Structure 1
Amino acid sequence: MGTSDAGGRSHAAPSDALTPYLALDLHGLLRALQERPLAPGDLAPEVWRSLVELVTQQVQHRGGDLDVEGWGVCSAVVTHVLAAAVAADAYPRHEALVRRLHLTGAALDFAGRTDARAALLDARGAVGLAVRALPADVDAVAADADRWRTLPRAEVLRLRRVRHVLTPALALADRSGDERLDHWRDVLPRLP
C-alpha cells in the first residue's frame, strides 16, 4: 500500500520502496542507484531518510571494498542521494552537510589518502563546503558562544549546528593541511 504527500504525489510504502535495495551489498547498491537515479519526488521524505541511512551504513561498514574508481561512483551516488533527500524535505541542508563530512572522514579512513578525483576522498573540497556553510563572522559566533546560556533556544540551536559542522570539518582540515578553518579552532570548545 502506498502513501501520498502534501502535494498529492503517490509514494510506495517505505518497506516496499526500499525492498530492492535492502539485500544488496555496497557495490550492488551503488550500481542500482547510479543506473536509476531517484528524483526527490520518487520517494516520501521518510523513505529518503531510510535510504540515506542505508547508504551511510553501507559506506561506513563496507567502504574498504572500494578502489578509487569505486569511490568516484560512491561519491556521485552519495552526493545525489543527499541532495535529493534535502530537496524532498527529508533532511535539512546542514544535516546533509554534516553527514557528507562524516562520510568523507570514513572514506579517507578506508582509502588512506585524499584524492580529488572522488568527492568523498577530497578532504579540501569537503572543508570548502564547510567554509561556505559556516557564518562569515567568527567573532560574532564566538561572542554568542560565550553567552549561549542566556540566548533564546533558536540561537542555541544555531550554535549547535555550527558545532556539528565544525567538528568533522576541522578533522578533515587537519588531515589535508587545510588552514581555512584555523580561525574557528578556539571557538569550537566554547560552542554548546
Structure 2
Amino acid sequence: MKTTISILLITFILGFKQLYQEITIEEPEFSGIIILVTSETSFEQLEKQKASTATKADIGAALFGVSKGKGMNMVNGLQSPVRIAEGEKLRLIARVRENDRDPVEVVNIFRMEQDLKKERRTIVTGTVNFNQSTALDIEFIPFEASKYGQSSYLIEVPEIPAGEYAITLDGSRDVFNLFGVD
C-alpha cells in the first residue's frame, strides 16, 4: 500500500513538473522583437516585414463610374519560414516598451490570407463603396499572456488552426511579425 501511494505521488510530482517547466530564455534585446519558444531553452525569432497598404477596385465598378473596392495590408511571400505544427501550443515572448498594460491592448494576433497569383499574404482592413469607407472588424486570435522578465509578455495560444498569421504591437501596427502553422 505504501509503495502504491509512493509511486502515485512520484508520478504526480513528475507530471506536474513537466506540465509547468519554466522557460529559461532571456528576453529579446530590443523592444518590438517577438520570438517563438520552441522549447524551455530555445527559440526562433519571427519573420518581420513592414506591411504595404493597397486598395483593390472592382473592374466592373470602375467601368460604370461606381467606386467600389477594399483596402488591405500585405506582405511579400506566400508563407513564413517560421513554422509550428498544428495542434502544438503556441508560445511567444514579445519585448514591449512596458509590460504593465493589459496585453490585449498591446498585442494583436490575426490570420492572413494567401494571394497565390501575386505570391503575398494579405488582410482586408476596410471597404469603399461610392464615397463611404468602412473599417472591417478584424478577427483577432484570443490568447493568454503574463509578464515575462522586465519588459516582455509570455503569450500562449492553446490551439491555432493551420494557416499564415501576423502579430503587431502597439506603436508599430505596420510592422508584421509573421509565422505559419502546418
Give TM class, smaller chain.
Answer: under 0.3
More helix by share: 1
More strand by share: 2
TM-score normalised by length of structure 2: 0.23
Greater Cα radius of gyration, structure 1 or 2: 2
Higher relative contact order (CA 8 A, sep 6+): 2
